[in-house]
């Protein structure tokens, strides 16, 4: 239960849900929805170690940065990779969400999504970073759980449901029943890996060097997991590896599908593998309720069709898949009494739940 003091604070203070993703960091505020949505990038001045830009402006410098500036992606494979930078980033986000209020209010209560299966030390790192970044109280939730809540899946019910969250660094598969994860899988094949596939493909097949940001753009616009109604050619700019000179060539959507097909297969195999371990009654439920795709990777064209066909369970993309985790995390405090058991505890209680 909330203490009377918490209840009183709750009337005035902000409740914030944070999705600290490999690719994007989002903040949702109770009553306002998503207030911050920025790439998880920080630009650091090498000489002083001081962050000079966070988010979009730092990402714009990605692969174009002058040598005295270092571009850091502080969250790797869904886990905090650079603690200090992450703390600064959280500080920036919490302050920014907090500043948007025009009356003085207490510091916010924060729910942060963490990948399932992270170690106690990694959990503690997120917890501490959020606290020292200015949260009054910090709660942790496993990302697939938050994604499922955000996608509106009935995770509390006996009826099973399933989410596949494809982010930048990791793909997380989770099957729920009765408010808990029954089966889960986490693999380090997701959006970034597909970008890398495209870089490799361009090098091997076209002797062309392209950067990761270009590859990411190609993936988001032209990649697919299932034949498109209309395949097309599009221009790609890069550097010819033979001549060393800039070049533009035409590439087809069929080629890009081919380039990412290995990663797509790994993701689908992981889903099959999770289903293989699922009790038959629960599989029966899933045949009714389907598989929900969340995360930016869920937007890969044709992925839902391909999954439906290969797994034989209807698959659909969550509404606004990029914001599911942040919205789901934010929702927990709104319905604290019912949803608190979905939160993750830390060993040797520094949390109050």
Residues that bind ligand ADP (CB under 6 A): 21-24, 167-169, 191-192, 216, 219-220, 295-297, 299-300, 322
Tokens representing 154 are 């009935």
Of 125-133, 163-171, 247-255, 333-341, which part binds Mg ion (CB under 5 A)? Answer: 163-171
Closest separation between CB of residue 167 and Mg ion, Å? 4
Closest separation between CB of residue 222 and Mg ion, Å? 23
Residue 169 or 330 with smaller CB distance to ligand ADP:
169
Residue 321, interface with Mg ion (CB under 5 A)? Answer: no
Partner interacting with residue 2 (select from Mg ion, ligand ADP, none; CB below 5-8 Å by kind)? none
Closest separation between CB of residue 151 and Mg ion, Å? 12
Partner interacting with residue 126 (select from ligand ADP, Mg ion, none; CB below 5-8 Å by kind)? none
Residue 225 or 282 with smaller CB distance to ligand ADP:
225
Residue 51, interface with Mg ion (CB under 5 A)? Answer: no
Tokens representing 241 are 């590896």
Angle subtended at Cα 231 by Cα 229 and Cα 233, rounded to the nearest 5 degrees: 155
Residue 21, interface with Mg ion (CB under 5 A)? Answer: yes
Tokens representing 286 are 């899933």
Closest separation between CB of residue 144 and ligand ADP, Å? 11
Angle subtended at Cα 42 by Cα 62 and Cα 53, rounded to the nearest 5 degrees: 95
d(CA 280, CA 283): 5
Closest separation between CB of residue 36 and ligand ADP, Å? 13
Closest separation between CB of residue 136 and ligand ADP, Å? 25
Nearest to 153 by CA among 186, 183, 175: 175
- Which three-class secondary structure state does DSSP give residue 218? helix
Under 8 Å between Cβ of 306 and 225 = yes
Closest separation between CB of residue 49 and ligand ADP, Å? 24
Residue 39, interface with Mg ion (CB under 5 A)? Answer: no
Residue 155 or 329 with smaller CB distance to ligand ADP:
329
Q: Which residue in the set 167, 238, 298, 330 belongs to the binding site for Mg ion (CB under 5 A)? A: 167
Burial class (CB in 10 A: 0-12, 13-18, 19+), 1: exposed
Residue 160 or 297 with smaller CB distance to ligand ADP:
297
- Other C-beta atoms closer than 10 Å to the C-beta of 132 total 12
Written as one string, the DSSP assignment of 117-186 is T--HHHHHHHHHHHHHTT-SEEEEEEHHHHHHHHTT--TTSSS-EEEEEE-SS-EEEEEEETTEEEEEEE
Tokens representing 185 are 């899988």
Q: Which residues contribute to the site for Mg ion (CB under 5 A)?
A: 21, 167
């Amino acid at each position: 239960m909330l203490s009377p003091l918490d209840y009183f604070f709750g009337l005035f203070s902000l409740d914030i849900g944070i999705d600290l993703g490999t690719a994007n960091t989002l903040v949702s505020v109770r009553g306002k929805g998503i207030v911050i949505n920025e790439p998880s990038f920080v630009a650091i001045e090498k000489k002083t170690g001081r962050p000079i830009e966070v988010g979009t402006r730092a990402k714009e410098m990605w692969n174009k940065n002058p040598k005295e500036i270092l571009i850091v992606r502080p969250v790797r494979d869904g886990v905090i990779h650079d603690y200090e930078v992450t703390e600064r980033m959280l500080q920036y986000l919490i302050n920014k969400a907090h500043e948007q209020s025009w009356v003085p209010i207490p510091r916010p209560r924060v729910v942060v999504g963490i990948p399932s299966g992270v170690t106690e030390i990694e959990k503690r790192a997120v917890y501490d970073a959020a606290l020292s970044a200015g949260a009054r109280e910090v709660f942790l939730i496993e990302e697939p759980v938050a994604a499922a809540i955000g996608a509106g899946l009935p995770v509390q019910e006996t009826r099973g449901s399933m989410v596949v969250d494809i982010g930048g660094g990791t793909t997380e598969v989770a099957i729920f029943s009765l408010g808990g994860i029954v089966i889960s899988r986490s693999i380090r094949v997701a959006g970034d890996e597909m970008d890398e596939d495209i870089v490799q493909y361009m090098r091997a097949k076209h002797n062309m060097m392209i950067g990761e940001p270009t590859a990411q753009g190609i993936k988001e616009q032209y990649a697919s997991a299932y034949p498109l109604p209309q395949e097309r050619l599009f221009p790609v700019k890069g550097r010819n590896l033979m001549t060393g000179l800039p070049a533009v060539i035409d590439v087809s959507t069929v080629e890009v599908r081919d380039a990412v097909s290995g990663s797509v297969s790994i993701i689908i195999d992981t889903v099959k593998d999770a289903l293989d371990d699922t009790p038959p009654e629960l599989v029966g439920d899933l045949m009714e309720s389907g598989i929900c795709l969340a995360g930016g990777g869920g937007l890969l064209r044709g992925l839902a069709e391909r999954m439906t066909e290969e797994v034989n369970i209807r698959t659909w993309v969550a509404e606004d898949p990029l914001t599911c985790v942040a919205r789901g995390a934010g929702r927990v405090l709104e319905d604290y009494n019912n949803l608190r058991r979905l939160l993750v505890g830390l060993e040797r209680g520094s949390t109050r739940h």
